[in-house]
Amino acid sequence: MTRFATRFRVGAPAAVLRTAVLALGAQSALALAYLATTEAGVASPRTMAVPVVWVTAAVVGVCHAERPESAADVRAVAAVVGVAYGVGLAWVTGAVAPPAGAAGGLDVLLLPPWWGPLVRYDGASVSVFLFPYRAVGYAALAYLVSLAVRDVAASGRSAAVGGLVALGSCAGCALPLVAGVASVLGGAGVGVGAAVAGETYLFATVAYVLSVAVLTARPTIE
């Protein structure tokens, strides 16, 4: 009977933990600076934890993901795929959308750290509604997807297992995030409490961490 071994690309636990601690420290310093220089306030610990988890996961994933050796043309294709994935995810979640109506221009809202400064832009051809932590999260996923593409090119189809699972799991981020954006744009106000009502953002956060973990480890069936 044939046996299959699954290989995971994960760094040393101590190194991963050290990166996470440094990421938390940096976020704390940035949050204090933001609060000291703006009129933004704070939110409940649960609400504040959402962006902290996203950013920490993003930093750990980007720092510890294995970077396959690839030719220039493969890297170029992988970069295009990663950018397309990031833009597509932003579109699906409502962060980037068709214009809402009359062009309202640029608006910046000073929400609690990592929820703000929230950038809202409504132009003639596109609308943007982006929390800082989500911009970091999407960028990290786009980069990790590009690494997965390079992995597939180097190792064959078995390496795609991690990418497929991660893409599927992060698709679960879409509905909760769209619900949160819709509640704000629909007149529920810009308060973070309305944006994260219920369990939707908890679900999205779990889906995001799972996506980053799988794209970072990129399990390969051998």
Q: Is pLDDT above 70 for 140?
A: yes
pLDDT band at residue 187 using 50, 70 and 90 as cut-offs: very low
* Predicted TM-score (pTM) of this structure: 0.80
Q: How far is CA 146 from CA 150, 158, 219, in A?
A: 6, 16, 15
Question: Per the structure block, which two tokens stand in for 96?
Answer: 């980037």
The pLDDT tens digits of the residues spanning 37-92 come to 988 888 888 888 889 999 999 999 999 988 888 888 889 999 998 898 888 888 87
- What pLDDT, on a 0 to 100 scale, did the predictor assign at position 191? 45
- What pLDDT, on a 0 to 100 scale, did the predictor assign at position 195? 45
The pLDDT tens digits of the residues spanning 10-24 come to 667 888 899 999 999
The Cα–Cα gap between 119 and 2 comes to: 54
Q: Which residues contact 59 (CB under 8 A, 6 or more apart)?
A: 19, 20, 23, 140
**What are the boundaries of each domain within the chain?**
6-221
Q: Which residues contact 222 (CB under 8 A, 6 or more apart)?
A: 4, 5, 6, 7, 158
The Cα–Cα gap between 55 and 209 comes to: 10
